Amino acid sequence: MSKFKAALITMFLGTSSAAMASPSVSFSANAQLSWGTSAAAPIVRDHRSNDYANAMPSTRMTWISLADSLQLSRGRDVLRPLAGNFTQIRLQAVTGNTWIGSVVIRFKDGTSQTVTFNEYLSRRSSFLQFDLQGRHRAGIDAIIINGQAMRRGSYQVFAMGSTVELPMPPVHQPPQPPTYQPPQPPVYQPPVYQPPVVQQAPVMLSSELSFANTQGYRLVYVAGNAGTFSTLRVQSHAGAMPLAKVQITFVNGQTQTFSNIDRTLMPGEKVDLRLDPRGEGHIATMYVFTNDTMTQLSSVITGSFDVTGL
């Protein structure tokens, strides 16, 4: 081999070794990144109603307590509200009597408002209140109450302000099966005891009276213990008995006359006369007339009658 060929072979081998010792490397990246949910992952959905999802918080004005019971033990109480959009301040009695001289409102912008009362908080005058003035009512720095407690007096401070109410989520109630109601037996109602009505038995006031040998009437006296009556019965006992009228005098002085009866009662027939309640049912005497002639009647009259109180 000639030297020239050897030189060429040596140069070729050297170049190949260099290429193997210092390789040339290049990168080609084409990556794609995606976010999503795989088929095996659970899916969570919001089942709340659209009304609740779209509902906005609401505000309303109400009285807000700014402090617990105060007593003006040193002649002054100072309150520093943390926050709030207030429009009014109220001082309300809790116990005893409290003399309120004045109330000073200091705002955060350096302005102030002073309200002079010189009045008592008590049971008769239970609260004092006033409106907040100015454009900086939301920026209250301090509330200063000047006064004096009398007879263990105490009071409380309130402010009229707005509160935020969040909508409540609907409560899902699964359907409930109907509750079994066993049939109810009828309620037994015992009969109400009704005492028997006791009616007074008829009382015979006079019997077998006749107009024979009279001037057309008969006078009947009734015993004081005979009883109380509502009806007087005149009944024929025997024969034909003409009846013209009946005149009654009661124990209390009341009188009652039944005129123009003008009936002839045959045996067993009767006339019932309803007594005036003003007489209270107690009969003293009665006259039974067969006519109004007041003349002596024959002794051969056979008719007779009975008088009964009912």
- Rounded Cα–Cα distance for residues 284 and 262 (Å): 24
* Polymer length of the chain: 310
- Rounded Cα–Cα distance for residues 275 and 290 (Å): 20
Confirm whether 217 is domain-assigned.
yes
pLDDT band at 20 (very low <50, low <70, confident <90, very high): very low
Burial of 159 (0-12, 13-18, 19+ CB in 10 A): buried
Pairing of strands 140-165, 58-65: antiparallel
Say whether both 137 and 82 belong to one domain: yes
Q: Which amino acid is at 133?
A: Q
Query: Residue 79 belongs to what domain range?
Result: 59-163
Confirm whether 250 is domain-assigned.
yes
Write the pLDDT tens digit of every residue in 140-190.
Answer: 889 999 999 887 899 999 998 876 666 666 677 788 888 878 888 888 778
**Residue of 189 and 210 predicted with greater confidence:** 210
Q: What percent of the chain has pLDDT over 90?
A: 39
- Rounded Cα–Cα distance for residues 85 and 138 (Å): 4
Say whether both 153 and 223 belong to one domain: no
Q: Is the pLDDT of residue 302 over 90?
A: no
Which CATH number goes with the domain that contains 65? Answer: 2.60.120.260
Beta strands in the chain (DSSP E): 58-65, 76-79, 86-107, 112-121, 127-131, 140-165, 203-209, 217-221, 231-238, 241-243, 245-250, 255-258, 263-265, 270-274, 283-289, 304-309
pTM for the whole thing? 0.39
- Rounded Cα–Cα distance for residues 147 and 159 (Å): 19
Which CATH number goes with the domain that contains 225? Answer: 2.60.120
Neighbour count for residue 63 (Cβ, 10 Å): 13
Write the pLDDT tens digit of every residue in 266-282.
Answer: 999 999 999 999 989 99
Confirm whether 288 is domain-assigned.
yes
Confirm whether 171 is domain-assigned.
no
The number of domains in the chain is 2
Average pLDDT, the chain: 79
279 and 248 in contact (C-beta within 8 Å)?
yes
Confirm whether 21 is domain-assigned.
no
Confirm whether 47 is domain-assigned.
no
State the DSSP string of 11-55: HHHHHHHHHHHS----------------TTS------S-HHHHH-
Q: What percent of the chain has pLDDT over 70?
A: 75
- Rounded Cα–Cα distance for residues 267 and 287 (Å): 21
Q: Is the pLDDT of residue 288 over 60?
A: yes
pLDDT band at 24 (very low <50, low <70, confident <90, very high): very low
- Sheet-wide strand order for 217-221: 217-221, 283-289, 245-250, 255-258
